[in-house]
Structure 1
Amino acid sequence: MTRPTLTSLLVSLAFISTLANANDGVTIAFQTGVDPSKVAQADGDYEKATGKKINWRKFESGADVIAAVASGDVPIGNIGSSPLAAAASRGLPIQTFLVTGVIGASEALVVRNGSGINKPADLIGKKIAVPYVSTTHYSLLAALKYWKVDAGKVTILNLRPSEIAAAWQRGDIDGAYVWDPALGKVKASGKVLTSSAEVGKWGAPTYDLWIVRKDFAAKNPDFLKQFVKVTGKVFDRYNKDPQAFAANAANVEKIARLTGSKPEEVAALLPGNAYPSLQEQSRLLQQPFVKAVSDTAAFLKAQGKVESLQSSYAPFVTNQFINAALR
């Protein structure tokens, strides 16, 4: 019997490795925001449509997702428009290919009962927690600017949502700008000073969205088209009758299970964002969204949160896969 050479062994190992990676499926990073697509995720609709195994990994913040995508470990991730602006400004090879929500009341600045904060000026000298470079961080800074409150006079602490909930429980912070499930926990003993619905009207809209590494997108266009189709269908189901969707106990259970939100809160949280149809998104993911990302990046640079800006943010946004899904 002929002995295998070192070269043939290496080729065999490479082939086995390729097969193993093919069977590993696609790793996708998601977050705990409440939205209708969590029902499709729980039902395995993305796997059925794409024919691929999907490894869903839960993350606490957009910054954590960006780090995973930058490392190459995760090709697709769910983040907000502020982390997108920061990542794009650094030149990360990513594109936004789908919006999962125009953020409204689902993200809010809550101040503790008894903190002495009754109006924006009372924030001076107080400890306000927020995950850095998140949509809530951007919204907090934008709100302070709108209120003409010097951000340098507010102690802004960088905490993840779970850390915010724990710090609130200990009484270590006076307020927090955050999303669910931490938002529901702090609202139980606090009051909403403003929400991202209001901040958006003041000229600083924020979005939840899906990004993809450009190298993965180039090799897997059909996967992304099917991913978009599934999301569009569940958004249509929700938008057709939001109350019925939220009253469906099975929908509520699935969303609560994936996000960590309380089932009794899900019905109130779903209307906290707007969920654009694919037709609306095809238009949105052109100049309107590019402008919002550009404005966000410019604001973050003015605040010292990013070092430099891109000449254009259009290369970091595409409606290619939405248009393919619509066809």
Structure 2
Amino acid sequence: MTTKRALSSLIVTVYVLLVVSLSAHAESLTVGYQTGIDPSKVAQADGVYEQTLGQKIDWRRFNSGPEVVTAIASGDVQIGNLGSSPLAAAASRNLPIVAFIVSAQINAAEALVVRNGSGIDKPQDLIGKTIATPFVSTSHYSLLGALKHWGLDASKVKVVNLQPAEIAAAWKRGDIDGAFVWSPALGEIRKTGKTLTDAAQVGQWGAPTFEVWVARKDYAQKHPDVVAKFAKVTLDAFADYAAHKDSWTADSVPVQKIAKLTGANAADVPELLAGSAFPDAKAQLTTALLDGGTAKSIGETAKFLKEQGKVETVLPDYSAYVSAKFVAE
């Protein structure tokens, strides 16, 4: 009888542990982020997302949007940060994701910088030169948009696929003549180079770029409250920056936290923050963004990517990949 009771107790213990384990797994949240400079990095560093959501978050750092897309597609990541170009590519391939907040409208935060002494003084000088950028990223999209605007045949420029950290290393070795990229690599290469154009100017030429937070659709359907709270923390961070941006100097606490989390030089952070616009809750819900404009922009990006042979299909409507309800809630 003692053996039976012991065995019964063991079975109950194993069962309880299994239930607890499955429950924990079901509620786990993995968030994919990148090194772009934005105010929400402060909330991330301070653990505000965890406090608000009431659960642990596994934050995973990625080098580019396409890497985030791959992780989301595999199910390893439930919420991720990526740019408009990888978003358009993912949606065009029917990846079940939904953009629930525009996290940045990219302006000077991404730029084409050419090396001092490379012989590149004007756009036409890019012919025959080696320019690096992470493929299918917002920077890649901006680079292609710039070449198109300048009337340059992209095949005559040696465009190579490098991640930001690889760009910084290749720049130091002298392997590349220029790069279209974001921080912290952008801050590094600017020290010995000059800006030929940036995402803001390319946007005015007809190829705007932006960043979004996306969630797997199945996760968003099961946990709409989590996604809504995640959006609120992000928007609160934007509001805090908007109210105190003048005090976010290189030696300020918020900027120091962003620098530590992203690996950027603190001295570069204020300028990089100023290089993007961070829409508040009211702006998010307008027809220019989540209520129509974002879906339209994704479609325009997809059309451009198809012209460049980066996607095979352009969907007639991308509204299924954008939702305003989480911000509205």
Q: SS where residue 40 of structure 1 aligns? A: helix
Change (3 A) 1:34 1:15: same
1:141 equivalent to 2:141? Answer no
Rounded to whole Å, the distance in 2 between the matches of 1:163 and 1:186 is: 12
Corresponding residue for residue 44 of structure 1: 47
Corresponding residue for residue 166 of structure 1: 169
More displaced, 262-271 or 172-181? 262-271
Contact 1:246-1:270 at 8 Å conserved across structures: no
| Code of the aligned partner of 1:209 | V
Match of 2:25 among 21, 25, 28: 21
Q: Percent identity?
A: 54
Give me the TM-score of the superposition, normalised by structure 1.
0.94
Match of 2:182 among 179, 182, 185: 179
Corresponding residue for residue 256 of structure 1: 259
Question: Unpaired segments of 5 or more residues in structure 2?
Answer: none
Rounded to whole Å, the distance in 1 between the matches of 2:56 and 2:251 is: 27
Rounded to whole Å, the distance in 2 between the matches of 1:82 and 1:215 is: 22
Contact 2:133-2:163 at 8 Å conserved across structures: yes
1:318 equivalent to 2:323? Answer yes
1:80 positional shift: 0.3
Deviation readout 1:241-262 (Å, 9 max, x if unpaired): 3212346611011100111101
Deviation readout 1:205-258 (Å, 9 max, x if unpaired): 100110100000001111111111111111111112321234661101110011
Question: Unpaired segments of 5 or more residues in structure 1?
Answer: none
Deviation readout 1:106-125 (Å, 9 max, x if unpaired): 10000011111111111111
1:105 positional shift: 0.4
Give me the TM-score of the superposition, normalised by structure 2.
0.94
| Code of the aligned partner of 1:37 | S
Match of 1:69 among 49, 69, 72: 72
Rounded to whole Å, the distance in 2 between the matches of 1:247 and 1:129 is: 28
The number of aligned residues is 321
Q: SS where residue 102 of structure 2 aligns? A: strand
Rounded to whole Å, the distance in 1 between the matches of 2:261 and 2:187 is: 15
| Code of the aligned partner of 1:152 | S
Match of 2:82 among 79, 99, 105: 79
Corresponding residue for residue 306 of structure 1: 311
1:241 equivalent to 2:244? Answer yes
Q: SS where residue 188 of structure 1 aligns? A: helix
Rounded to whole Å, the distance in 2 between the matches of 1:144 and 1:247 is: 34
1:204 equivalent to 2:207? Answer yes
Corresponding residue for residue 63 of structure 2: 60
Contact 1:31-1:58 at 8 Å conserved across structures: yes
| Code of the aligned partner of 2:323 | T
1:275 equivalent to 2:278? Answer yes
| Code of the aligned partner of 2:217 | K
Rounded to whole Å, the distance in 2 between the matches of 1:273 and 1:314 is: 24
Rounded to whole Å, the distance in 2 between the matches of 1:315 and 1:22 is: 25
1:39 positional shift: 0.7
Rounded to whole Å, the distance in 2 between the matches of 1:267 and 1:9 is: 54
Rounded to whole Å, the distance in 2 between the matches of 1:60 and 1:131 is: 9
1:286 positional shift: 2.0
Rounded to whole Å, the distance in 1 between the matches of 2:283 and 2:104 is: 12
Rounded to whole Å, the distance in 1 between the matches of 2:69 and 2:175 is: 28
Q: SS where residue 264 of structure 1 aligns? A: coil
Deviation readout 1:16-75 (Å, 9 max, x if unpaired): 43134157x311000000011111111111111111111111111001111100000100
